[in-house]
Amino acid sequence: MSVKPTIKEIAKLANVSIGTVDRVLHNRGDVSKKTTQLIRGIMEEINYVPNTFARNLALNKNFKIAVLLPEHEKGEYWTAPLKGAKKALKDFKALGTMVQIYLYDQKDKNSFFEVSSRIFKDKNDAILLAQVLFDETKSFLEECKKKKVPFILIGTGQHNSGAISYIGQNSHQGGRLAGELLSFGQNKQSKFLVLNITKAQNPNVNVKERIAGFESYFKDNKEQEFQIEVFSVPQEDKNVVQKIKEKLSSLNNLKGIFVPNSKSFILAKALSPSHHIRIVGYDLLDKNKQLLENKKIDFLINQRPYDQAYQGIEYLYKFLGMQQDPPQVVSLPLDIVTKEKLMYY
Amino acid sequence: MSVKPTIKEIAKLANVSIGTVDRVLHNRGDVSKKTTQLIRGIMEEINYVPNTFARNLALNKNFKIAVLLPEHEKGEYWTAPLKGAKKALKDFKALGTMVQIYLYDQKDKNSFFEVSSRIFKDKNDAILLAQVLFDETKSFLEECKKKKVPFILIGTGQHNSGAISYIGQNSHQGGRLAGELLSFGQNKQSKFLVLNITKAQNPNVNVKERIAGFESYFKDNKEQEFQIEVFSVPQEDKNVVQKIKEKLSSLNNLKGIFVPNSKSFILAKALSPSHHIRIVGYDLLDKNKQLLENKKIDFLINQRPYDQAYQGIEYLYKFLGMQQDPPQVVSLPLDIVTKEKLMYY
DNA sequence: TCTTTTTCCGTTAACGCACACGGAAAGGCA
DNA sequence: TGCCTTTCCGTGTGCGTTAACGGAAAAAGA
């Protein structure tokens, strides 16, 4: 139990009133140069830091933060950020910040419009969201800018959208990591496949970058002479599995597959029960975790969507309540998940 | 900007004064059953949560937390928890909590006694420490118990020491992970070596558990028929490197080495420049990071000492200031580091 | 010199909660 | 009836900071 210096003590030391101290503390002017410097010096010397509790109590601000995400089933990707948001909801309530969750139907654009407009009606002070429906979200973000509602994009989203922060993962580096994990200890003559199972409606920028990163890894490690090939197939295609099967059997000496999105579980359907192909995928969906558990695949790169959402709300809170600007881009460290690490998720 | 209910409003709704509301809020008695239930009901209904800022301001508590660690050079293991502690120092200052750092000379037991007794003299309210000098720390912790000073052990330490929390990593699981990473994609006839470079003064429990975990992994995956062998050699031995070299050349078909502590950099000295042995080590010392960078080793398991220290202080703060009990044991997720992930550390 | 502006600073009332103090009302006892 | 507990509750002050208000002193203008 020690004591922290207060503005009152600074005032006494400087022979002024607390009002004056407060004025220099917040650069509110109306203070002579001499006393300003005197007070600044004293603050410096005694290492003064304002009491957050008193500060926030006096400011007495209550904020509402909206979280906008797609509806989803249990075990899907979006359960994770939702969990993070709910944790934040709980943690920040005592700090006077309300977190409200808004879910829309990904397949129904009207649902998006309806839900997102409700965010404005409810007078939220800030928004956390993922840019899933690219174009619709884009115009929504334009409106946010107009109305001066700050927002943070998580996971995916265009960087020039006006977000105060973009929280995600370095996709390029993720691709490189995948390259490293796939090629690691393999024969020089091995062949690797990038299996891009696309979603027609929402082309994903991250996936592109991951593939580019994957390729760049092999460009930087030429001495290994691996062959890589990219194969794309739309998820909506009725014969996806068949097409993948054909592709696989057409390749000899295939030693590794990189699935640059969460669709490993589709690839799994096309694999023979006891294959010897190393597989690196993305995202800890329940289905994908099962694949790890059963050793059908080897590595999953975790985007840490839970942390993305939680940190996003934390940043919004600090932005609103303590005028702290978050970093423009926050890159969460890549997280490699193996069977033996599953217990943590 | 919404509004949060206050005790004043509850008082108005219940037709009592705020004093009465406060009494039921803290179970301080002196309230009739009827009004108690009435007020409880209202709180429930409007979902009342006390304002943390007002609460802490009124309580106005200032704590001192001591961090006790070994002195060290830049790039060594202890730089990381120290960094975490310094970050916490900065973050918690505004919350009225001071973090004071105490460093002792690992090789000088008197230094430990001197420094640790200073912790008591300075009237710290709680302590964060690592049990490096096992016996000396043990008696120090006894004294803490006597003086009722709560403490948290990080990284290493006996679990029955009376700590309010033990923050570390699951060593057994770490060993299993090492087994997984080493054996992954290797020939069935491969041989693996556990290279235990010991430190005579401080036998480390974690290392033992890691080795046991490593062995358990292969016991659970018998179909792979790998051979494993454990080789120990004291770091203080003048001929460590030579002895390791001899060991390595005595093993044919050696495909992997597991170094269950931070001493990979010593093994590196015994390796031929272009070896083909897969190596899994521990801890991100500068020297070890260099080895990853140069592809002399393949994986490092990161104990996340930075987070251990930071979280430890956070828990102590919550324990002291908000009477929240931390979990008895906190296991940070295992973190796999490869060359392509180095940029994050 | 007197008036008007500008510069600079002190005072004070919140903010929501904790807790000590004191006191009214009701019950108990003679 | 009078006096004394016991039960229950209201009042008031303080925590450190914020920011509005007002006013004295100095500077500028007449």
- Quickly give B19 CA vs D10 C1' distance in Å: 7
**Residue B29's pLDDT band (cuts 50, 70, 90):** confident
Check pLDDT > 80 for residue B201: no
Higher local confidence (pLDDT), A222 or A48: A48
Instruction: Find all residues with CB under 8 Å of B53, minimum gap 6, and list them.
Output: A52, A53, A54, A55, A56, A57, A95, A96
Higher local confidence (pLDDT), B72 or B275: B72
Interface of B with A in 257-316 (CB under 8 A): 278, 298
For residues A267 and B72, give the distance between their C-alpha atoms in angstroms, rounded to a whole number: 50
DSSP A187-204: -TT-EEEEEEEE-SS---
**Residue A8's pLDDT band (cuts 50, 70, 90):** very high
Check pLDDT > 90 for residue A324: no
**Residue B273's pLDDT band (cuts 50, 70, 90):** confident
- Quickly give B127 CA vs D17 C1' distance in Å: 31
Instruction: Judge whether A6 and A51 are in contact, CB under 8 Å.
Output: yes
Q: What is the pLDDT of residue B177?
A: 97
Q: What is the pLDDT of residue B189?
A: 82
Strands B299-302 and B335-337: antiparallel
**Residue A146's pLDDT band (cuts 50, 70, 90):** very high
Q: Using CB atoms, pick whichever of B98, B336, B343 lies closest to residue A336.
A: B336
Q: Is A99 on the interface with B (CB under 8 A)?
A: no
Instruction: Judge whether B66 and B130 are in contact, CB under 8 Å.
Output: no
Give mean pLDDT, residues A286-312.
96
For residues A28 and A56, give the distance between their C-alpha atoms in angstroms, rounded to a whole number: 18
Tell me which chain A residues have a C-beta less than 8 angstroms from the C-beta of B180: 338-340
Tokens describing residue B340: 């392509």
For residues A323 and B289, give the distance between their C-alpha atoms in angstroms, rounded to a whole number: 37
Say whether A66 sits in a helix, a strand or coil.
strand
Instruction: Find all residues with CB under 8 Å of B79, minimum gap 6, and list them.
Output: B72
Instruction: Judge whether B179 and B342 are in contact, CB under 8 Å.
Output: no
Instruction: Find all residues with CB under 8 Å of A227, minimum gap 6, and list them.
Output: A190, A191, A192
Q: Is the CB of A51 under 7 A from strand D?
A: yes
Instruction: Find all residues with CB under 8 Å of A124, minimum gap 6, and list them.
Output: A64, A65, A66, A100, A149
For residues B22 and B10, give the distance between their C-alpha atoms in angstroms, rounded to a whole number: 10
Phi, psi (5° rounding) for residue B170? -75, 105
- In this structure, of A72-76, B85-89, B271-275, the range with the lowest mean pLDDT score is B271-275
Quick one: closest CA in B to A53, which residue?
Answer: B53
Which contacts (CB < 8 Å, 24+ apart) does range B261-264 have? B261/B196, B261/B197, B261/B204, B261/B206, B261/B207, B261/B210, B262/B77, B262/B288, B263/B197, B263/B235, B264/B288, B264/B291, B264/B297, B264/B300
Quick one: closest CA in A to B125, which residue?
Answer: A1
**Residue B54's pLDDT band (cuts 50, 70, 90):** very high
Kindly list the distances between the CA atom of residue A207 and the CA atoms of A59, A196, B250, in Å, as whole numbers in the listed order: 44, 8, 47
Q: Say how many CA atoms lie within 13 Å of B113 toward its Cβ.
A: 6
Quick one: closest CA in A to B336, which residue?
Answer: A336
Higher local confidence (pLDDT), A185 or B207: B207
Q: What is the pLDDT of residue B157?
A: 66
Alpha-carbon torsion B278, B282, B283, B288, what sign?
negative
Instruction: Judge whether B81 and B305 are in contact, CB under 8 Å.
Output: yes
CA A121 to chain centre: 26
Q: Is A100 on the interface with B (CB under 8 A)?
A: no
The string of pLDDT tens digits covering residues B287-321 is 999 999 999 999 999 999 999 999 999 999 999 98
Q: Is the CB of B35 under 7 A from strand D?
A: yes
DSSP A221-253: TGGG--EEEEEEEETT-TTHHHHHHHHHHH-TT
The region that residue A123 occupies, defined by phi over 0 for left and psi between -120 and 50 for alpha, beta otherwise, is: left
Check pLDDT > 70 for residue A274: yes
- Across the interface, whether the CB atoms of B338 and A177 are under 8 A apart is answered yes
Count of A-B CB contacts under 8 Å: 111
The string of pLDDT tens digits covering residues A69-125 is 999 988 899 999 999 999 999 989 889 899 999 999 998 999 999 999 999 999 999
**Residue A157's pLDDT band (cuts 50, 70, 90):** low
Tokens describing residue A14: 């400087």
Nearest-nucleotide field for A58 (CA, C1'): C15
- Quickly give B32 CA vs D2 C1' distance in Å: 28
For residues B248 and A63, give the distance between their C-alpha atoms in angstroms, rounded to a whole number: 63
Q: Is the CB of B291 under 7 A from strand C?
A: no
